[in-house]
Each structure stands twice: as structure tokens, then as C-alpha cells.
């Protein structure tokens, strides 16, 4: 497996020494599962892309503090790249911003969430059990977003949902897996990121988010879904 990780953000300077980058977080997530993969990070936010899509078997788009539906030139370019990958039949995974960008690029829609910021650990119902999923138990993931997928692309099936985020994950069989939550986040990083955004929440909600960090989250479980999705797509 040759995986291109398309990193769509630059971490805050104070967080870089400890957490490095979103691309590195995904490398670490997959390395813990010990797959025999070759992973390369491309900073698409700075305009760096694989020299040729044919050099990679699959592609992963990370989270970002930017809007997946914006007209920023680098965001438009990434949406166009996603469309090209999809037309070429390349398997793709999108997380948070990547989840929203894939929806928007492939004929769905993303925008500001009516409920404002979602942060902390949230639980989701599993609405389908495709072959890459282990069982039908609810899923808990770390989240940090104020945008959401508001309309799924054609052919997409909803995978995860709750009242705050009805389209929390979707998939297009063998081609796309897109997830709003962050399986790659550690609780420590999520807490550190929350400190930058807490003033945008009402005090009561901020307290609830802090408390939620003590709940278990299933990033490793969802990481295994991602691994199986890609391996099955390329089998």
C-alpha cells in the first residue's frame, strides 16, 4: 500500500514541537496497526502534491481550520484534485475538513453547522455495517468542528449520525470513506486545541466539553476501519 496523506493545515506554532502535524498523526495511527505501508505526507495547503497520482494507491485528506467550501485557491485546487482522483477510481479517505471537502467536491454540500461548534468526545449511531466495519456498536470520537456535511453526494451512504451532526460519516463503496470525527487525535492534543477555541463557546457548553474528555473514545477502532477500507478497496 502506497498512501499519500494530503495535509491541509499547519498546526499552531506552540503545538508543533509536541504534535508536529496532522499528517504525522495519521502516520502514527496507522503505524500502531503495523501495516506494511509506504506513507508520504504532502502539504497541500502549501501547494505540494504527489508528482503523479499513479505513484500512490490511495489518498487521505486531513482536517483543517479552513472551510472546505471556501473559494481559497488552494481549497479549490484540492477539491478539483479530489474530483480527478474519484474519476480515476482512486480510493480516498477524508477526515473532518477532508470529510466535508469530499462531500462538497463529489456533488454533496457542506456549510456552517446550525448548532455552532462541536467539541470534545461525541457518540454516534452506526447506521450501516459495510465489510470494513467490525460491529454495529455506537462509536465515540473526538471532534472539533463548526462546519458539517449538509447533503451527501450521489451514491453515498450514511455511516455515522447523531442529533448534532446527522451526516457524521459516509462512504461510497470501494471508493470513499469520509468521517467528521478525529480518530487520529489524542486527548492531550484535543484539550490543547480546545484551549484556543473555548472562548467561542458558552461557559456551560465549555464545561461540558472539558468533562467529555474523560470519556473513552474509539480512534483506534475507527483507524482499523480505515485500514480495512483501503485494503479491501485495493484487493
pLDDT at residue 224 in the model: 95
Enter the C-alpha cell of residue 108: 454533496
Q: What phi, psi does 159 have (nearest 5°)?
A: -115, -45
Q: What is the pLDDT of residues 175-230, one digit of tens each?
A: 999 999 999 999 999 999 998 888 888 898 899 999 999 999 999 999 999 999 99
pLDDT at residue 200 in the model: 83
pLDDT at residue 128 in the model: 95
Strands in 62-208 per DSSP E: 92-95, 109-112, 118-126, 139-145, 147-151, 157-161, 169-172, 176-179
Residues recognised as catalytic: 96, 182, 184
Give CA–CA dist 38/63, Å, rounded. 21
pLDDT at residue 116 in the model: 83
pLDDT at residue 118 in the model: 86
End-to-end CA distance of the chain: 10
pLDDT at residue 181 in the model: 96
pLDDT lower than 50: segments of the chain: none
Quick check: 171 and 130 in contact, CB under 8 A?
yes
pLDDT at residue 85 in the model: 98
pLDDT at residue 114 in the model: 80
Instruction: Give the closest residue to 5 by CA, choosing from 138, 98, 102, 96.
Output: 98
pLDDT at residue 33 in the model: 83
Q: Residue 172 carries which DSSP code?
A: E
What residue ranges define each of the domains in the chain, with the CATH number in brackets? 2-233 (3.40.50.880)
Amino acid at each position: 500500500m502506497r498512501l499519500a496523506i494530503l495535509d491541509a493545515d499547519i498546526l499552531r506554532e506552540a503545538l508543533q514541537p509536541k504534535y508536529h502535524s496532522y499528517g504525522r498523526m495519521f502516520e502514527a495511527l496507522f503505524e500502531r496497526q503495523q501495516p506494511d505501508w509506504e506513507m508520504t505526507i504532502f502539504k497541500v495547503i502549501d501547494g505540494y502534491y504527489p508528482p503523479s497520482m499513479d505513484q500512490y494507491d490511495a489518498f487521505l485528506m486531513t482536517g483543517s481550520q479552513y472551510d472546505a467550501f471556501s473559494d481559497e485557491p488552494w481549497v479549490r485546487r484540492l477539491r478539483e484534485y479530489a474530483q480527478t482522483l474519484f474519476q480515476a477510481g482512486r480510493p480516498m479517505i477524508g477526515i473532518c475538513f477532508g470529510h466535508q471537502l469530499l462531500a462538497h467536491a463529489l456533488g454533496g454540500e457542506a456549510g456552517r453547522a446550525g448548532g455552532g461548534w462541536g467539541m470534545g468526545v461525541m457518540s454516534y449511531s452506526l447506521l450501516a455495517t459495510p465489510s470494513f466495519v467490525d460491529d454495529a456498536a455506537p462509536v465515540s470520537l473526538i471532534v472539533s468542528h463548526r462546519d458539517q456535511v449538509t447533503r451527501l453526494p450521489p451514491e453515498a451512504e450514511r455511516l455515522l449520525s447523531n442529533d448534532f451532526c446527522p451526516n457524521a460519516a459516509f462512504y461510497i463503496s470501494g471508493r470513499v470513506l469520509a468521517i467528521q470525527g478525529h480518530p487520529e487525535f489524542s486527548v492531550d492534543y484535543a484539550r490543547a486545541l480546545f484551549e484556543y477555541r473555548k472562548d467561542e463557546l458558552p461557559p456551560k457548553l465549555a464545561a461540558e466539553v472539558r468533562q467529555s474528555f474523560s470519556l473513552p473514545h474509539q480512534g483506534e477502532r475507527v483507524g482499523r476501519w480505515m485500514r480495512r477500507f483501503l485494503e479491501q478497496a485495493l484487493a
